[in-house]
Amino acid sequence: MLLIRKVSDHMIIRDIRIKIFNEELGLSNSDIFDDDDKKLDQFLIIYDGISIGSFRLRDVGNSFKIERMGILSKYRSKGFGKLSLDEIKSHSKMVNKSKIILDSIYDVRNFYAKFGFIEFGDVYYKVGIPHVKMYFDV
C-alpha cells in the first residue's frame, strides 16, 4: 500500500535526496538543500512501511509547484511515481488549485508527459542539468 505523508522531521527526506540527487546525479548538497526546506511542506512516499521517495510542495497562488521529487532507484518503474502524482492531483483539486507546475530534468520529462503534464518554455540549465518547465491543469 502506498502512503504519502507530510513530515516535519526532514532526516529521512535528507537521506532520500542524498541518494537520488547527490549519489546518482552528482549534485552538491548546496544544490539539493536550501532554506525553503524549512518553509515548504515536505512529503514522504511510503510503500509497505518503507520510505521510497519524497517531494515538497510550494504554494504558488492558484497552483502547487512540485519540487525535489524523487523515488529511490530500486522502486522506479513500479507505478509509485504515477500514484504519487495522482495523490498530488487529488489534493490540488480538493484545495481548489487550478494548476500543478514543476521543473523537470529534461531526460525525465516524458515520465511527467505520460500523466498529462505539458512542457512550456525553452530548455534551460539548473544546477548544470537541462530542465524544462511543465504544467498540469487540475
* pLDDT number for residue 1: 84
pLDDT digits (tens, 9 = 90+) for 70-93: 999 999 999 999 999 999 999 999
Residue 8 in this model has a pLDDT that exceeds 90: no
What's the rounded Cα separation, in Å, for the pair 88 and 91?
5
In this prediction the pTM is 0.94
Provide the CATH number for the domain around residue 119. Answer: 3.40.630.30
Domain of 102 in residue numbering reads as 2-137
State the DSSP H helix or E strand holding residue 15, giving kind and residue range, or none if neither: helix 11-17
Residue 27 in this model has a pLDDT that exceeds 90: yes
2, 4, 87, 98, 138 from 83: Cα distances, Å: 8, 10, 6, 19, 16
Pairs from 71-75 (Cβ < 8 Å, separation ≥ 24): 71/20, 71/45, 72/16, 72/19, 72/20, 73/19, 73/20, 73/24, 75/47
What 8-state DSSP symbol labels residue 22? I
* pLDDT number for residue 23: 96
SS (H, E, C) 72-125: CHHHCCCCHHHHHHHHHHHHHHHCCCCEEEEEEEHHHHHHHHHCCCEEEEEEEE
State the total domains in the chain. 1
* pLDDT number for residue 10: 87
